[in-house]
């Protein structure tokens, strides 16, 4: 049987995670394309892709499905290049960009007639970037929005949904404008808010640094996403202007309403405000509620001498502690836990943790 070839253009967090999911099927060959050779090298050595190239034509020539997984601005420029490339006759091109309306409009304008374009957006991610943060479980149980156009053949949509089942995400269909409105409210605007709040507090933080030091769980929980890639979010905001401007207006009104209650000292309605939010927040569907087991991961600092990883796996193996995955993470100085070990169960993880601590390793549950 002929293998299915998948091209992933942009082997970063999302492209890498999709590539890893695709590799669950041994009949799929994943070719990565990136403008950065060092990123392809990382993806190759960590087994994310079967082959990598910085030549776009080589990457797409044999592809049956092409994922555009670069930052949004580069998704536009790549779309415009497709017309000059030799492609398979029934190829599906899809993207993973965080905005949809403008991308789909552009694709319909520039895509060659024999090519099917289906907009896509997996609703999962991280504030971390790059292939080193990729995981075959990143999209598990997340919604994956597809935005086929009126003329898109149902058979092609099903073909794409079929391949996407390897990510274990829940594929849904939506029109691009609805997508941008909804995702503007639940993802884009929250990123603006998180960063605006951080900038406000940074401005308050005087020489004594008390704001930074007292910032505990609340501030950290609501601002994690302010650590996201600034270039990526610049592009997203520029592509989703109209919905965002409307949401910002609604936000300003909502904030004013609460502050009016504070001004009036209206205890009942202030409490009601928090209660209403809590009811909706507590009712959000639990992403981990699906059939798949949660992750049992430990992160371990690896001392910088040869044979350390071998020593750790030997220690675990000797006590029959089962691990299902091992990942060496980007070794930037400020990152703890360079080695990630995924265990089969909670009890295996606990046994592993006890053992590694006994042998004096620094072990973390989450980083
Ligand atoms: N980060 C998230 O949480 C998230 C979630 C869902 C969707 N997205 C979307 O996924 C896309 C990628 O985001 P990411 O977080 O994976 O970014 P990333 O920075 O981790 O990866 C992007 C990769 O694209 C490469 N690249 C840059 N220009 C390119 C070009 N012209 N052609 C090919 N490759 C190029 C970069 O070298 C990098 O390896 C964006 O469009 C983003 O909107 C991101
Ligand atoms: O979890 C995160 O860090 C994310 O920001 C992921 C997130 C989001 O939920 O806003 C960010 C961008 C996307 O396009 C989809 C998902």
Dihedral of the alpha carbons of 247, 252, 255, 259, in degrees to the nearest 10: -170
Specify if 232 maps to a domain.
yes
Q: Is residue 168 part of a domain?
A: yes
Helix (H) or strand (E) holding 182: helix 176-183
Same domain? For 16 and 144 the reply is yes
On whether residue 238 sits in a domain, the answer given is: yes
CB of 17 within 6 A of ligand 2: the answer is no
Ligand nearest to the CA of 135: 1
Which of 251, 285, 319 is the last residue before a domain boundary?
Answer: 285
Q: Is residue 262 in some structural domain?
A: yes
Tokens of 296: 């049992």
Query: Of 7, 17, 70, 238, which is best to mutate to test ligand 1, by the most ligand atoms within 8 angstroms of its C-beta?
Result: 70
CA–centroid distance, residue 347 to ligand 2 (Å): 31
- Domain match, 167 and 220 both: no
Instruction: Please say which residue of 265, 285, 305 terminates a domain.
Output: 285
Clarify whether residues 188 and 257 are in a common domain.
yes
Q: Do 70 and 132 fall into the same domain? A: yes
User: Residue 95 has which token pair?
Assistant: 């993207």
Give me the pLDDT at residue 330, please.
54
Residues 182 and 278 both lie in one domain? yes
Q: Alpha-carbon distance 14 to 124, whole Å?
A: 9
Residue in the structure block whose two tokens are 């973390």:
364
Pick the residue whose CA is nearest to atom 1 on ligand 2: 126
> Is the CB of 232 within 6 Å of ligand 1?
yes
Residues 268 and 121 placed together within one structural domain of the fold: no
Ligand located closest to 43 CA: 1
Asked if 202 and 172 sit in the same domain, the reply is: no
Q: Which residues contact 158 (CB under 8 A, 6 or more apart)?
A: none
Domain tally, the chain: 3
Residue 291 in domain: no
As a three-state string, the secondary structure of 184-239 is HHHHHHHHHHHHHHHHHHHHHCCCCCHHHHHCCHHHHHHHHHHHCCHHHHHHHHHH
Distance, CA 73 to ligand 1 centroid (Å)? Answer: 10
Structural domain of residue 125, as residue ranges?
Answer: 4-176
- Quick check: CB of 98 below 6 Å from ligand 2? yes
CATH number of the domain that residue 162 is part of: 3.40.50.720
Query: Is the Cα torsion angle 95, 71, 36, 338 positive or negative in sign?
Result: negative
194 lines ligand 2 (CB under 6 A): no
The domain that holds 319 is classified in CATH as: 3.30.70
CATH for 233: 1.10.3660.10
Taking CA atoms only, the protein residue closest to ligand 2 atom 10 is 187
pLDDT of residue 307: 86
Q: What tokens were used for 130?
A: 């790059």
Query: Both 13 and 133 in a single domain?
Result: yes
pTM value is: 0.81
Instruction: Give the ligand at the shortest distance from the Cα of 103.
Output: 1
pLDDT at 295: 67
In a domain, 45, yes or no: yes
Structure ipTM: 0.98
Residue pair 292/24 in contact (Cβ under 8 Å)? The answer is no
pLDDT per residue of the chain (367 residues) written in tens, 0 to 9: 568 999 999 999 999 999 999 999 999 999 999 999 999 999 999 999 999 999 999 999 999 999 999 999 999 999 999 999 999 999 999 999 999 999 999 999 999 999 999 999 999 999 899 999 999 999 999 999 999 999 999 999 999 999 999 999 999 999 999 999 999 999 999 999 999 999 999 999 988 899 999 998 899 999 999 999 999 999 999 999 999 999 999 999 999 999 999 999 999 999 999 999 999 999 988 765 333 345 688 988 887 777 888 999 999 999 999 887 887 765 444 445 678 898 878 888 999 999 999 999 888 876 4
Statement to judge: residues 87 and 163 lie in one domain: yes
Contact 342, 361 (CB under 8 A): no
Q: Which ligand is nearest to the CA of 129?
A: 1
Whether 14 and 140 share a structural domain: yes
User: Tokens in use for 106?
Assistant: 């552009």
Q: Is residue 269 part of a domain?
A: yes
CA of 1 to the centre of ligand 1 (A): 32
Residues 146 and 12 in one domain: yes
Please give the C-alpha separations between residue 21 and each of 37, 141, 145, 165, in angstroms, as whole numbers. Answer: 22, 13, 17, 9
Could you say which of 243, 263, 285 is where a domain stops? 285
The CA angle 200-183-192, to the nearest 5 degrees, is 10
Determine the distance separating the centroid of ligand 2 and the alpha carbon of 37, expressed in angstroms: 26
Task: Report the distance separating Cα 217 and Cα 225, nearest Å.
Answer: 14
Report the DSSP beta bridge partners of residue 146. Answer: 120, 173
| Rg for the chain, CA atoms, rounded | 23
Residue having the nearest C-alpha atom to atom 42 of ligand 1: 97
- Cα(229) to centroid of ligand 1, in Å? 10
Q: Tell me: do 34 and 155 sit in the same domain.
A: yes
> Per the domain annotation, does 212 fall within a domain?
yes
pLDDT at 304: 72
Q: Which residues contact 26 (CB under 8 A, 6 or more apart)?
A: none
User: Which tokens hold the place of 325?
Assistant: 């995955």
Helix (H, G, I), strand (E, B) or coil at 133: helix
């Amino acid at each position: 049987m002929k293998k299915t070839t998948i091209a992933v253009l942009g082997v970063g967090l999302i492209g890498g995670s999709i590539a890893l999911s695709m590799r669950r099927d041994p009949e799929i060959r994943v070719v990565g394309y990136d403008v950065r050779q060092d990123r392809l090298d990382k993806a190759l050595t960590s087994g994310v892709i079967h082959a990598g190239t910085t030549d776009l034509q080589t990457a797409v020539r044999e592809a049956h499905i092409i994922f555009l997984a670069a930052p949004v601005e580069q998704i536009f420029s790549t779309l415009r290049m497709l017309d000059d490339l030799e492609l398979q006759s029934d190829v599906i091109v899809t993207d993973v960009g965080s905005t949809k309306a403008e991308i789909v409009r552009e694709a319909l304008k520039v895509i060659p007639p024999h090519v099917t374009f289906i907009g896509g957006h997996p609703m999962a991610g991280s504030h971390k970037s790059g292939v080193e943060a990729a995981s075959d479980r990143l999209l598990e149980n997340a919604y994956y929005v597809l935005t086929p156009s009126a003329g898109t053949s149902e058979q092609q949509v099903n073909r794409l949904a079929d391949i996407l089942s390897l990510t274990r995400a829940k594929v849904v269909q939506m029109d691009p404008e609805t997508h941008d409105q909804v995702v503007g409210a639940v993802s884009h605007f929250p990123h603006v808010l998180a960063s605006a709040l951080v900038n406000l507090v940074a401005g308050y933080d005087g020489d004594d640094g008390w704001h930074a030091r007292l910032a505990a769980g609340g501030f950290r929980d609501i601002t994690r996403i302010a650590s996201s890639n600034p270039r990526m979010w610049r592009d997203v905001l520029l592509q989703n202007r109209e919905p965002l401007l409307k949401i910002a207006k609604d936000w300003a009104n909502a904030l004013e309403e609460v502050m009016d209650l504070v001004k009036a000292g209206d205890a009942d309605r202030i409490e009601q405000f928090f209660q209403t939010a809590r009811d909706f927040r507590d009712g959000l569907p639990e992403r981990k509620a699906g059939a798949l087991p949660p992750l049992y991961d430990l992160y371990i600092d690896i001392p910088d001498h040869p044979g350390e990883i071998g020593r750790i796996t030997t220690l675990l193996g000797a006590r029959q502690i089962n691990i299902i995955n091992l990942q060496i993470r980007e070794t930037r100085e400020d990152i703890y836990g360079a080695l990630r070990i995924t265990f089969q169960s909670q009890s295996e993880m606990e046994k592993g943790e006890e053992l590694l601590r006994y042998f004096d390793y620094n072990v973390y549950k989450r980083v």
